[in-house]
Amino acid sequence: MTTLPPAARLAWWATAWLQGYAVTDLVIDAVVDGDATHVMARLPGIEGTATLVEGLALLRRLGATGLGGAFPAEGDPVGLGGPRPFNADALEAGEAVVVSGTGLGLVPQRTGAAVIWTAQPAERRQLPDVGEADRALRAALLASADALADLDVARWRPEVADRLMDLRHREPLTAPDGIPPRCVDLASRGLQAAGIVELALEDDGGAISATEVERRRAALVPLDRAGRAALTAACSPEVWPPG
């Protein structure tokens, strides 16, 4: 995860649109990004699929006040509140959005170069606030760096060691007006953490035993969890700081 995933793009740009900070054309371009198209399915009152414009307009008529992202993983359903079918689909996809004020959630499914957002009932969720997620991510980065240093990460994954030594170097994110700068920064650091975890887990990196592999994975679990929580908070207007 080195760029904003679809759920983050939809959460940010659709919320900005609902709040009057972004015009429709920019929203569509930003959400679709490099994909061929995005459509919505199973929306109330619409047969078949709807374009993003049609889907967002319907959600606004239904009372949507914002779209919040969720980036769960097995054993850590961060950003999800139920019911079970929605949670299961979101866990399988690794991401989803919850539409505040409508009782609906949207889960993406990629089909070739297209993304289909399938609507289904979604319940209110408990979320880490931005400050809590920020502190947890900073602590997890330090703890994982120390643990990986003890495991000689520089020998088996020098690229990971380089990233841990240069945490200030991050690719800038493009966000619409209305997204708190603190959340843009937090999302960037959450993605950075996810990129470190992904790189470190690409292979066993020359591990000499199953025990060594497990120790390396265990050192990365807190960072993975904190990175996903940070991205969830950064993409959830329910917990954004005021002003």
Kindly give the pairing relationship between strand 114-121 and strand 37-41: parallel
The pLDDT tens digits for 192-237 are 888 888 877 766 555 556 777 777 788 788 999 999 999 999 999 9
Predicted pLDDT at 2? 47
Q: How far apart are CA 177 and CA 161, in angstroms?
A: 35
| Whether residue 1 has pLDDT greater than 50 | no
Average pLDDT of the chain to the nearest whole number: 89
Domain boundary assignment for the chain: 6-121, 130-239
Is residue 199 a contact partner of residue 33, using CB atoms and an 8 Å limit? no
Q: Where are the beta strands (DSSP E) in the chain?
A: 37-41, 49-51, 66-70, 96-100, 104-111, 114-121
Q: How far apart are CA 97 and CA 235, in angstroms?
A: 9
Predicted pLDDT at 148? 74
Cα torsion 155, 158, 163, 166 to 10°: value is: 80
Angle 24-32/6-18 helices, nearest 10 degrees? 170
Binned at pLDDT 50, 70 and 90, residue 153 comes out as: low
